[in-house]
Structure 1
């Protein structure tokens, strides 16, 4: 059995693993999709149907992407880190074409959107998901919707190094977090709302509004000033623990016990939990943390809703240009200084609710997409990628619109 950790040892472990890869330039992405039966799109695929589809992925994908499953049966396609934006887009597109074909063979389609209007249902019952479900039940029914009915584009970029310019981890953390609300609004694709006979509020990104309101510390934004590794370490220590592993002694699968209400990792390390804290407990806890920008060795952007069809390319390209082109990063930092103060939790709520309808957010988003388009040319991506981003900008961002604004609001509760 591994030795118990002290608070200082756990803090050191978190700090060292937060933003630990001293490099820039690589791009990866995780695409989540709703799996919809072609014969009846209002029905959720059963566990047996998903298992049949999953068996088709015993054969590797052409670009070595991996397929996994979220609690409500959402399919997640994850890429490896690629040495350039273009190689990432090419590899994911090749794998996605195969994934879609295999789904069609099973009579199912992959649908892109941030929020599923169907009633939530758990069709992938892993112990970790059940632990999360018990934990989120503290906030009412929103937890089931969050786990089963949301999908996103998660973008993974290198964390940077100790320098002070565009390659530095502090600059990259600043750009990611300060521009996060504008990115969320630009790609909002989970409209919620009801007819005039209802009183519930509407939102452009119902997915992100739900996330922000369900355990606001675990899902909410972090400060973007100072050393991001120290910021992340404090946040991880002070966030509640979802569950505690029970030792396996009889060959049964890994078991999880609910953590006592309000038990933070720091309190557990100080003796408030049922047993000592071990290194694997810290790693499991870190996997449960889901702020808009996540420090998991690299930077993970989690504020972007899943997009229609092949529009997933656009947020990947925009974010990569902002972060990995020196001139664009410098311009983004200047934009933050001039127009984007430290976003508060309420600023994120407003951006999720109003999206591109908020004049200040729309102005920042328009500037961001123009910067990104110039940066993509310097990154030497293909004309097809630049055209895809340009068409999205003309259709949405430069008109003050997001994908959510071109769709009817869905009757999905987010409060």
Structure 2
């Protein structure tokens, strides 16, 4: 494995893997949920509860000695530190293909859990329980100690949040800046439109998306949006190298690192030994901007959705990026609220500017759902969900539901 002696080596590696260009064809989704006992949703679960319920599909992090079996639709089950479960879909060639395969996996997982008296949550933040870590690994122990030193938000993020991630091809070299810019500029309005995390640990948080509030409470060098002007690859490399290390892998020893040491500092000799390329790849997995380049574009700012309603935000994003003309129109509509992440998370659609932008973007998306290839019945479901979100979210109180 190549050892990194110079910042330029690291920057070149990041630039080479972060944006893979080509005609946009594939889409994927990661669905994440908190998990609860159906008869006692505020009761904490243990790793053994999830391992038993998942059977052969349990990931190794739950103590399964074998790799977890894939679900019938091709998705893989993973588990987060607080016991949240996630289905990572296989990349699909169309939104219809994705909808069919992920719907199959979602239904299968719900039935699997139901046999053990467990249910999936329906919001982006655990509404019943305070954060408690269920997985005890060197990575998560180091993460928690690092986050705890700065406040409560990191532990909440690790153990109580559930998101919906949409993964899209970056597009051709000429499309990349347009698609990258659109996903950021539309972000605040779409975050607000699909916010589901107003309650946490039995109380109203006062936020439309308290899940996103947890991200704002974490070191912004790890969570702020990546700058968009100029060379995108160079900008991401600069962001990544200036971000503090969250942990360094050391087998079964503690993975803690001194506070504030960045990956660039490690290359420059701040820690014993020099990092290798795979250490850099691992470091990239500990960075959490709202849109993250991973060869494809990973949209990370959406809350988990109730039941099967994940298709609505997925279809909206797909429709708005279906062709360059629609994407340009979406960027023009989004300009008024671009960058207003904090307002969107706190007030949701109760903020007039955010609501106006969201309504315009959702209208544009619904008028262009034909371009997603979804069957008419599913398109009708999407438009119904969108209409309900706009109708019931006129005040901040309603936006928390």
- In structure 1, the partner of 2:209 is 205
Aligned with 1:391 (options 358, 361, 384): 384
Task: Check if 1:370 corresponds to 2:363.
Answer: yes
Task: Check if 1:179 corresponds to 2:172.
Answer: no
Instruction: Judge conservation of contact 2:207–2:400 (CA < 8 Å) in 1.
Output: no
Deviation of 1:27 after TM superposition, in Å, equals 0.8
Compared CA separation, residues 65 and 159, structure 1 to 2 (3 A): same
Extract unaligned runs of 5+ from structure 1: 409-415
Compared CA separation, residues 158 and 362, structure 1 to 2 (3 A): same
| Runs of 4+ deviating beyond 4 Å | 192-195, 398-404
Deviation of 1:67 after TM superposition, in Å, equals 0.1
Deviation of 1:340 after TM superposition, in Å, equals 4.5
Compared CA separation, residues 361 and 2, structure 1 to 2 (3 A): same
Aligned with 2:227 (options 219, 223, 240): 223
CA-to-partner distance for each residue in 1:187-246, whole Å, 9 max, x for gaps?
A: 111114899xx9x97110001011112112211222233232122111101110111122
CA-to-partner distance for each residue in 1:82-122, whole Å, 9 max, x for gaps?
A: 00111111110011111111001111111121111302111
Instruction: Judge conservation of contact 1:25–1:158 (CA < 8 Å) in 2.
Output: yes
Aligned with 1:294 (options 292, 304, 320): 292
Cα distance in 2 between the residues matched to 1:54 and 1:232: 37
Task: Check if 1:107 corresponds to 2:121.
Answer: no
- In structure 1, the partner of 2:165 is 154
Aligned with 2:349 (options 337, 352, 356): 356
CA-to-partner distance for each residue in 1:248-291, whole Å, 9 max, x for gaps?
A: 5xxxx5x5521111111112222222221210110010000111
- In structure 2, the partner of 1:235 is 239
Instruction: Judge conservation of contact 1:185–1:352 (CA < 8 Å) in 2.
Output: yes
Instruction: Judge conservation of contact 1:56–1:102 (CA < 8 Å) in 2.
Output: no
Aligned with 2:398 (options 402, 405, 410): 405
- In structure 2, the partner of 1:62 is 72
SS at the partner of 1:353? helix
Instruction: Judge conservation of contact 1:206–1:352 (CA < 8 Å) in 2.
Output: yes
SS at the partner of 2:302? coil
Instruction: Judge conservation of contact 1:351–1:361 (CA < 8 Å) in 2.
Output: yes
- In structure 2, the partner of 1:7 is 7
Instruction: Judge conservation of contact 1:187–1:402 (CA < 8 Å) in 2.
Output: no
Aligned with 1:95 (options 84, 101, 105): 105
- In structure 2, the partner of 1:327 is 325
Compared CA separation, residues 236 and 407, structure 1 to 2 (3 A): closer
Cα distance in 1 between the residues matched to 2:359 and 2:50: 40
Extract unaligned runs of 5+ from structure 2: 58-67
Task: Check if 1:86 corresponds to 2:96.
Answer: yes
Cα distance in 1 between the residues matched to 2:75 and 2:212: 26
- In structure 2, the partner of 1:413 is none
Deviation of 1:407 after TM superposition, in Å, equals 4.9
Cα distance in 2 between the residues matched to 1:235 and 1:296: 14
Cα distance in 2 between the residues matched to 1:403 and 1:350: 11
Cα distance in 1 between the residues matched to 2:146 and 2:299: 23
Cα distance in 2 between the residues matched to 1:258 and 1:349: 30
Task: Check if 1:72 corresponds to 2:77.
Answer: no
Cα distance in 2 between the residues matched to 1:105 and 1:120: 25
SS at the partner of 2:229? coil
- In structure 1, the partner of 2:176 is 169
Cα distance in 1 between the residues matched to 2:156 and 2:200: 15
Instruction: Judge conservation of contact 2:23–2:171 (CA < 8 Å) in 1.
Output: yes
Cα distance in 2 between the residues matched to 1:25 and 1:385: 20
CA-to-partner distance for each residue in 1:340-372, whole Å, 9 max, x for gaps?
A: 45x2xxx21111111111111111100111111
- Could you state the TM-score of these two structures normalised by the residue count of structure 1? 0.88
Q: How does 1:12-51 map to 2 (within 5 A)?
A: 12-51=12-51
SS at the partner of 1:244? coil
Deviation of 1:23 after TM superposition, in Å, equals 3.0
Deviation of 1:17 after TM superposition, in Å, equals 1.0
CA-to-partner distance for each residue in 1:157-209, whole Å, 9 max, x for gaps?
A: 0011211xxxx1110110011111111111111114899xx9x9711000101
Cα distance in 2 between the residues matched to 1:267 and 1:126: 25
